[in-house]
Structures are given as C-alpha cells and as structure tokens.
Amino acid sequence: MMKVIFSTKRSLYFCPMVAKQLIQKYNVPGPRYTSYPTVPFWKKDQLNSEEWLTELDSAFHNFPNASIGIYIHLPFCESLCTFCGCHKRITKNHEVETPYIDSVLKEWQLYKKHLPKDIRISELHFGGGTPTFFHPSELIRLLKGIFQMDQIDPQVCDLSFEAHPNSTSELHLQTLYDFGFRRVSFGIQDYNPKVQKAIHRMQTFEEIQEVHAHSKRIGYVSINHDLIYGLPYQSLAGFEQTIDYTIQLHPERIALYGYAHVPWIKGTGQRGYNEQDLPQDSEKRALYELACEKLLSSGYVAIGMDHFAVPSDKLAQAFHEKRLHRNFMGYTTQTTKFLLGLGMSAISDSWTGFAQNDKTVESYQEQINCGELAVFRGHLLNELELEIRGYILDLMCHFETTFNTESKHTDTHEFIRKKLMPLVGDGLVTVNDCTVKVTEQGYPFVRNICMAFDLDLHNYQGGKPLFSATI
C-alpha cells in the first residue's frame, strides 16, 4: 500500500495497490453515477416540454431559496477525437456559430419565464464539443444574454469552460477572464505521439505548455488538465512521461478518467482501432496506480474516484469539508439542487426530475426557433429513487452513507445490505448498523459499491450493453 501524502482532521487518503483477482472480479460494466436513476433507465422516453416545466415549477416551489447551475453544451468540433463519447457535430464551417448561440439564448428566454425573478446563478460551465470552436465575441454575446451585465463577481459565481489547447487563443482566455471566468479545463489525454495519432488528437507538450502559461499569466486560479488512462497503445513508460509532463506544468486540478470503451454508441470514432490495442484489466489499472502514486507524491490530493487537486484548490477544500457535490458536470464545489442544461443534448436536473434536450443540432434548433423547449426524454423521481439518489451521491462524494432510519423502505435497505455482503467479504466496504463506509481498499471500486444500491440495474433484463467497464 502506498504511503499517505496528505491528511486532514477528517481522514487520510490512500491510493491502494489493488489485487489482481479483485480487478478481474469487479471489472464489469457499470455507471459513472452522475445521476440516479442513470440515463438508460429513465422512464419518460417522451417527456414533453409542458410536463418538464410543470416539474420545474414544482421544484422551485419546494426549494424557493436554491440557486441554479447552468451547463451550456457547445457541440461543434473541427475534428473527431476517437475516444470521445460526447454528443458533438464535426465541422470546419464557423458560420454555424451565430445561429446556434441565437437558439441557446432563445431557450434561456423560454426558461426565464419559469425561474424566480431573484434566482441566483451559482455556477456556469461551457462544455462540448469544443467551446473554444466559437469566437470569443460569440461566447460573450451568449454570456451577456444570460447575465445581462458586462461582468460578474467570480467570488459569487463559479465560471468555467472546457478548451482544446490547439483552438484556444489568448483572446479566448483574456476575454473570458475579463468577464469573470477563473477556471479552465484543457483536454490533454496523453502526450505520447502514437497514442495521440490513434485518438486523432495531435498536440505537443510545447503547445500545451504555451496555452497553460498564457492562462497563468492572465490570472486563472484553477487550471484543470484532463488525462485518460486505458487509451490504445498506452504503456507504463509512455504514461509515466505524460504524468511527468503534467507535474511539470502543475495544474491546480487533474481529472484522471478511465477510458470508456463504448463502440456501440453512434457517433463515436471508437471503431477505428481494435480492442487488442487497449490495455486490459490489471494492465489498465497499473496505469492508474502509477499516475496516482506520482501525483500524490507531488503533493496532490485525491478527490472522489477520479480527480486530484492541490490542497489549496476549492475542490480539495470541498472534499475535506464534506461539501463536494456531483452532477452531470462531474464533481463540483457547488451543492445547488438545480442544474439547467442549455443547448443540444444538454441535461437539466431539478433534483426531483431530469430532462434531456434533443441530441441533433437541427432538431434542437427547429424546436427552439418554434418557441418550444427541445426536451425529448427525462425522468421524474419517486420517493424511493430520491432516497437512493442521496445514498449514491454520498458514496461518490464522501465514500460513506447512512440509511434513513425513518424510511418507509426498510425492505429495500435489507436488499441492498445483501447485495453489499460480497463487497464486505472482499474488504471493499463496511456495513455497521445503518452506516456504509468504503474502505481504503474499496476506493477504486466505488462505482461497483454504488451498483449494489442501483435497483434499476438489478432489474435490468436486456442483453444490450449500456455502460463502460468500471476498472
């Protein structure tokens, strides 16, 4: 077991070496739990806009003082990255920018009619796609249409955006910083040229170093680098170089994602290489453990299941103060119950319900331009689902949860306990009275532990693959 690098009053965080037999046993398809129920099990395949707005009105009535987070999906990319499973549109035609921004602003106006007049926006995130595909002037036009002001206080609202290093100019960085953005996330993935060629994302260390330096010089206080382990042709030696380069640049946050191999999903480029080119099981896990050891040794703190941060970063502080939250944007320091998704394929969360926009640009824009929301599916949670959602959220963010002793669903609790017993036997989790705690050995298997709570997953009878592997 690796040595502890960082400690707080709460606990110590280890990065355990995982036994090979456990990897083989638990490397099964499983959700990443950015929601519960997870998207494949939503029961409203045809949730209409009227139903969703009624749900939203009810939620705001129940949580009158809650703030909202906003996620804006900007789907365009100039080239296809073959590892990507996100909804995107590949084009070099930048004339699509203006009409798309027009549609998002119209969607916002449709929602504003149902938002409390004094609603506070606590966070806003640009995702994609490639947000920096858009010219800075279009991004600012979008922001001014939402906030109706030239600048906002970054101490009040957390503004962040995803960026492709090769398409992010100093003008992008400076313009968004001047508006109030203080966080930027760069998609790095891997520095090895052979791996980059396979995933169709060529970018040199020098290019990334330059855009990272520009961000620091301008004043961004939290720079994130996305890395992926399990990509085709990755090796321990090659990935060690990637981690060393990352440590050299020293971003405040690092997202270390396991590659999700889902070639059956339409629109991915994952059929462009063979599965035998991918690191498997313990091989893939060794890449993570190498990265984990080097990052912890360099002073980073492990956050949740796949993030690292310097101790002074807000994400690390939220984790150790048990304020960490998780939604469709991943881990966040903002614990708002409401997430409003704008743009093609974006997902909204009212805490008691979910809604997703249409997944094609044309259909999304057509509906919005006709004065209607582009919602095409969703899910309204019942009492039991809300309870389980809380348990899974606790486990994903804090590695422990406590059964509600006043719950009407004690039979479900017993069912979950039985599902947890094999994990207890393998030393991954403890169950004492009403409390479930993930052990240090169990941290890498938190998705598997959450699966014990997932009633929809237990009841699934179909043979169609739904999720990527957990390891």
pLDDT digits (tens, 9 = 90+) for 109-134: 999 999 988 888 999 999 999 999 99
Q: What is the DSSP string of 67-115?
A: -EEEEEEE-EESS--TT--S--EE---GGGHHHHHHHHHHHHHHHHTTS
- Average pLDDT on 28-54 reads 91
CB-based contact 123:302 (threshold 8 Å): no
249-301 pLDDT, tens digit each:
999 999 999 998 776 666 555 555 778 889 988 899 899 999 999 999 999 99
Which helix (DSSP H) or strand (DSSP E) does residue 347 occupy?
strand 347-349
Rg (CA), the chain: 22
Lowest pLDDT segment from 14-18, 213-217, 325-329? 14-18
Q: What is the mean pLDDT of the chain?
A: 91
- 204-261 pLDDT per residue, tens: 999 999 999 999 999 999 999 999 999 999 999 999 999 999 999 999 999 999 998 7
Per DSSP, helices labelled H in 250-382 are 281-297, 314-320, 361-369
Rounded mean pLDDT, 388-416 = 96
Contact 456, 389 (CB under 8 A): no
Instruction: Give the pLDDT confidence score for residue 271 in this predicted structure.
Output: 54
Stretch 439-462: mean pLDDT: 92
Pairing of strands 307-309, 253-258: antiparallel
* Amino acid, res. 304: G
Measured between alpha carbons, how far is 409 from 414 in angstroms, rounded to an integer? Answer: 9
Structure tokens, 444: 């890498």
Distance from C-alpha of 311 to C-alpha of 253, rounded to nearest angstrom: 10
Tell me the average pLDDT across 400-406.
Answer: 96
CA–CA distance, 89 with 43 (Å, rounded to integer): 27
Give the number of other CB atoms < 10 A from CB of residue 418: 10
Residues 375, 356: contact at Cβ < 8 Å? yes
Q: What is the pLDDT of residue 231?
A: 95
pLDDT of residue 266: 62
Q: What percent of the chain has pLDDT over 90?
A: 76
How does DSSP assign 408-450, residue by residue?
A: S-HHHHHHHHHHHHHHHHTTSEEEETTEEEE-TTTGGGHHHHH
Name the residue type at position 364: Y
Sort 237 into a burial class: Cβ within 10 Å, 0-12 / 13-18 / 19+: exposed
At 31 the pLDDT is: 93
Between CA 117 and CA 120, with CA 118 as vertex, the angle to 5 degrees is: 125
Q: Is the pLDDT of residue 457 over 70?
A: yes
Q: Are 49 and 101 in contact (CB under 8 A)?
A: no
pLDDT given for residue 135 in this prediction:
98
Task: Tell me what the mean pLDDT of segment 81-98 comes to.
Answer: 93
Cα-Cα-Cα-Cα dihedral sign, residues 354, 225, 241, 78:
positive
The pLDDT value recorded for residue 1 is: 36
Listed by start position, the domains of the chain span 1-30+382-460, 39-342
Give the containing element (helix H, strand E) for 195: helix 193-199
pLDDT, average across residues 73-94: 93
Determine the pLDDT at residue 414: 96
pLDDT recorded at residue 369: 96
pLDDT at residue 424, rounded to an integer: 97
Nearest to 327 by CA among 305, 298, 347, 311: 347
CATH class belonging to 39-342: alpha beta
Structural domain 1-30+382-460, CATH architecture: Orthogonal Bundle (1.10)
**Is the pLDDT at 100 greater than 60, yes or no?**
yes
32-57: buried (b, 16+ CB within 10 Å) or exposed (e) per residue? bbbbbbbbebbebeebbeebbbebbe
Tell me how far apart the terminal alpha carbons of the chain are, to the nearest angstrom: 18
**Do the first three CATH levels of 1-30+382-460 and 39-342 match, i.e. the same topology?**
no
Residues 6+ apart with CB under 8 A from 288: 229, 256, 258, 444
Q: Which of 157-161, 266-270, 289-293, 355-359 has the lowest mean pLDDT?
A: 266-270
b/e per residue, 437-468, with b = 16+ CB within 10 A? bbbbbbbbbbbbbbbbbbbbbeeeeeeeebbb
Instruction: State how beta strands 158-163 and 121-128 pair.
Output: parallel
Check residue 47 and give its pLDDT.
Answer: 87
Alpha carbons within 13 A on the beta-carbon side of 345: 17
The rounded distance, in Å, linking the Cα atoms of 340 and 60 is 12
Judged by DSSP in three states, 50 sits in helix
Q: What pLDDT is attached to residue 260?
A: 83
DSSP codes of every residue in 109-163: HHHHTTS-TT--EEEEEEEES-GGGS-HHHHHHHHHHHH-SS---TTTSEEEEEE
What's residue 151's pLDDT?
56
On whether the CB atoms of residues 13 and 307 are closer than 8 A, the answer is no
Does residue 176 have a pLDDT over 50?
yes
When pLDDT is cut at 50, 70 and 90, the band that residue 4 belongs to is very low
For the ranges 41-45, 264-268, 308-312, 330-334, the lowest mean pLDDT is seen at 264-268
The pLDDT assigned to 15 comes to 59
CA 124 from centroid of its chain's CA atoms? 14
